[in-house]
């Protein structure tokens, strides 16, 4: 099958959409499919080009057998609103202009957010006359209102109209969570075209490692119980709670907090940490994906956090499965479907979102009880092996794509 995948983010970027997309595409190539990804020059989250890359109108490369087409976009950091919106729109325009130069395809996938990347799949479908599969990783524009990036108004109503249009026009919709379905189904015209392909973990990359002591020594955390947040430092995550918990435990020499990643809130969090003199909190910034198994190996408990909101009850953070795959117990400050998964897997402790006291207590409990932490870690690894192997999920995704192609051709689904 020839697959054309539109994604604003792609490797070597290390955020969740880049990881999900690149791991699926790499697996599909190994299954014998022809995969082309249409993306930007890597620059997330700082809006600065990665070393060795240029922001050209049209450039090609091949990564792990995947054909990569990179288009020019207006580069912008993952913060603020105006420049980021222009960055998103520039990708949409670049895709439209590149249409005559994109290869023939049997099926088109576009992933959202960002919203205009998702919508670009509709335009490509009109030109290529191939079925379009819309992947929903977050509910736009609902989520941008929830985090306070925009207020309800004319712009949001226009985006909601485009959202409904995209759901109706897509030949199939792939949701990353069960919770999104109740929002999508009334808007898409045919709930039967919705499939759920959750986020998983690349079990070859994320497996138990003996690098923990070495990495701890390199980070100056040798001999300490490390509670780590790994991921985007954004408006949605409520990461002040880590600083508050670190302050509550600053006199406990056994425990250290670690934050790895980048985003709109990172500079403010670093300044707040320094103002409070929290010497038990290290903030590293973004690290290459190849460093992540070592970071996870140095992590004794993974902190997975979002702000307290009904919207985030529908979210399933991708870092949950990575932590579980690495046998790292979890302290989860997210309600809803993510909490249900944690309880089902028996892989950690759930707390009230943004509750620093509960966070400090949960971290202390695991530091005091290594047997409990190890049991949570073993349970998580077993659950991922059974339900969240990225390679198996990629195989299910191919079935969805094959069904969309067969339906368009009027043939029985494979």
The answer to whether 368 and 346 are in contact (CB under 8 A) is no
Q: How far is CA 239 from CA 17, 207, 259, in A?
A: 21, 27, 10
Is 50 exceeded by the pLDDT of residue 172? yes
Give the residue-averaged pLDDT of 279-305. 90
CB atoms within 10 A of CB 309: 19
Q: Looking at mean pLDDT, say which of 11-20, 26-35, 234-243, 314-323 comes out highest.
A: 26-35
pLDDT digits (tens, 9 = 90+) for 107-166: 999 998 778 899 999 999 999 999 999 999 987 766 655 555 556 667 777 777 888 889
77 near 83, Cβ under 8 Å?
yes
Length of the chain: 414
326 vs 157, which has greater pLDDT?
326
Question: What percentage of the chain carries pLDDT values higher than 70?
Answer: 95
Note the helical H segments in 170-308: 181-188, 212-218, 240-248, 266-276, 292-297
Q: Would you say residue 263 has pLDDT above 70?
A: yes
Structure tokens at 229: 């947040």
Q: DSSP letter at 389? A: B
Reduce the DSSP state of residue 229 to 3 states and report it: strand
Q: Which of 144, 142, 194 is nearest to 168 (CA)?
A: 194
Q: Between 45 and 24, where is the model more confident?
A: 24
If you average pLDDT over residues 316-330, what whole number do you get? 92
Distance of CA 301 to the CA centre of its chain: 19
User: H or E element: which one contains 165?
Assistant: helix 154-169
Q: How confident is the model at residue 148, as a pLDDT?
A: 55
Q: What pLDDT, on the 0 to 100 scale, is given for residue 414?
A: 46
User: Three-state SS across 50-71?
Assistant: CCCCCCCCEEEEEECCEEEEEE
User: Under a CB-based contact definition with an 8 Å cutoff, are residues 145 and 163 in contact?
Assistant: no
Domains of the chain listed by start with CATH number: 2-200+389-409 (3.40.50.2000), 212-387 (3.40.50.2000)
**Measured distance CA(233)–CA(31) in Å, rounded:** 35
pLDDT band at 23 (very low <50, low <70, confident <90, very high): very high
Alpha-carbon torsion (338, 339, 342, 348), positive or negative = positive
Least confident among 45-49, 156-160, 280-284, 364-368: 156-160
Can you tell me whether residue 107 is helix, strand or coil? strand
Q: Running DSSP on this structure, what letter comes out for residue 241?
A: H
Sheet containing 58-63: order of strands: 58-63, 66-71, 34-40, 2-6, 107-112, 132-136, 172-175, 194-196
| CA-angle at 323, arms to 322 and 329, nearest 5° | 160
pLDDT digits (tens, 9 = 90+) for 174-229: 999 998 998 899 989 899 999 999 999 988 877 777 788 999 999 999 999 999 99
| 127: Cα separation from own chain's centroid | 29
340's tokens: 């249900």
Looking at the DSSP bridge assignments, the partners of residue 285 are 260
Structure tokens at 326: 């690495």
Omega prior to 370 cis, within 30 of 0: no
Alpha-carbon distance of 160 to 166, in angstroms, equals 10
Burial class for 305, CB neighbours closer than 10 Å (0-12, 13-18, 19+): buried
Q: Tokens 């799949």 label which residue?
A: 121
* DSSP conformation class of 196: E
C-alpha 285/C-alpha 263 separation (Å) is 9
CB of 241 closer than 8 Å to CB of 305: yes
- Tell me the pTM: 0.86
Q: How many other C-beta atoms lie within 10 A of the C-beta of residue 139?
A: 22
The pLDDT-based confidence of 75 (bands split at 50, 70, 90) is: very high
State the chain's mean pLDDT as an integer. 91
Please report the pLDDT score of residue 150 as a whole number. 56
Q: Could you tell me the CA-to-CA distances from 125 to 45, 112, 130, 252, 409 in Å, in that order?
A: 29, 16, 5, 58, 14
Q: Indicate the burial class of 67 (C-beta count within 10 angstroms; 0-12, 13-18, 19 or more).
A: middle
- Tell me the helices (H) and strands (E) count for the chain, helix number first: 15, 14
Query: Phi/psi of residue 109, each to 5°?
Result: -120, 135
Determine the Cα–Cα distance for residues 380 and 207; give it in Å rounded to an integer: 12
């Amino acid at each position: 099958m020839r697959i054309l995948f539109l994604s604003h983010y792609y490797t070597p970027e290390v955020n969740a959409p880049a990881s999900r997309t690149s791991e699926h595409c790499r697996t599909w190539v190994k299954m014998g499919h022809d995969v082309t990804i249409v993306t930007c020059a890597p620059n997330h989250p700082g809006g600065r080009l990665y070393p060795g890359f240029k922001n050209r109108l049209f450039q090609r490369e091949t990564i792990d057998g995947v054909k990569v087409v990179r288009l020019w976009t207006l580069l912008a950091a993952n913060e603020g609103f105006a420049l980021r919106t222009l960055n998103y729109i520039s990708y949409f325009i670049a895709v439209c202009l590149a249409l005559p130069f994109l290869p023939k395809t049997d099926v088109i996938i576009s992933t959202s957010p960002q919203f205009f990347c998702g919508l670009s799949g509709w335009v490509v479908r009109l030109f290529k006359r191939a079925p379009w599969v819309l992947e929903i990783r977050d509910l736009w524009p609902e989520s941008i209102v929830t985090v306070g990036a925009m207020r309800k108004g004319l712009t949001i109503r226009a985006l909601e109209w485009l959202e409904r249009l995209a759901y109706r026009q897509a030949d199939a919709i792939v949701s990353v969570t069960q919770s999104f379905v109740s929002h999508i189904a009334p808007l898409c015209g045919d709930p039967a075209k919705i499939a759920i392909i959750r986020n998983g973990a690349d079990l070859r990359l994320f497996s138990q490692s003996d690098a923990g002591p070495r990495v701890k020594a390199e980070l100056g955390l040798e001999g300490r119980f490390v509670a780590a947040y790994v991921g985007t430092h954004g408006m949605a995550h409520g990461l002040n709670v880590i600083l508050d918990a670190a302050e509550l435990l600053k006199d406990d020499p056994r425990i250290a907090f670690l934050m790895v990643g980048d985003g709109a809130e990172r500079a403010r969090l670093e300044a707040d940490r320094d103002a409070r003199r929290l010497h038990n909190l290290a903030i590293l910034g973004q690290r290459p994906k190849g460093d992540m198994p070592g970071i996870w190996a140095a992590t004794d408990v993974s902190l997975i956090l979002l702000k307290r909101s009904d919207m985030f009850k529908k979210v399933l953070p991708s870092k949950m499965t990575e932590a579980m795959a690495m046998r790292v117990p979890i302290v989860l400050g997210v309600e809803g479907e993510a909490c249900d998964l944690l309880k089902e897997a028996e892989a950690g402790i759930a707390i009230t979102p943004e509750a620093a006291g509960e966070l400090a207590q949960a971290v202390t409990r695991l530091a005091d009880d290594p047997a409990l932490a190890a049991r949570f870690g073993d349970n998580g690894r077993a659950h991922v092996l059974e339900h969240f192997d990225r390679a198996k999920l990629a195989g299910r995704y191919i079935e969805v794509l094959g069904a969309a192609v067969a339906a368009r051709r009027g043939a029985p689904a494979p």
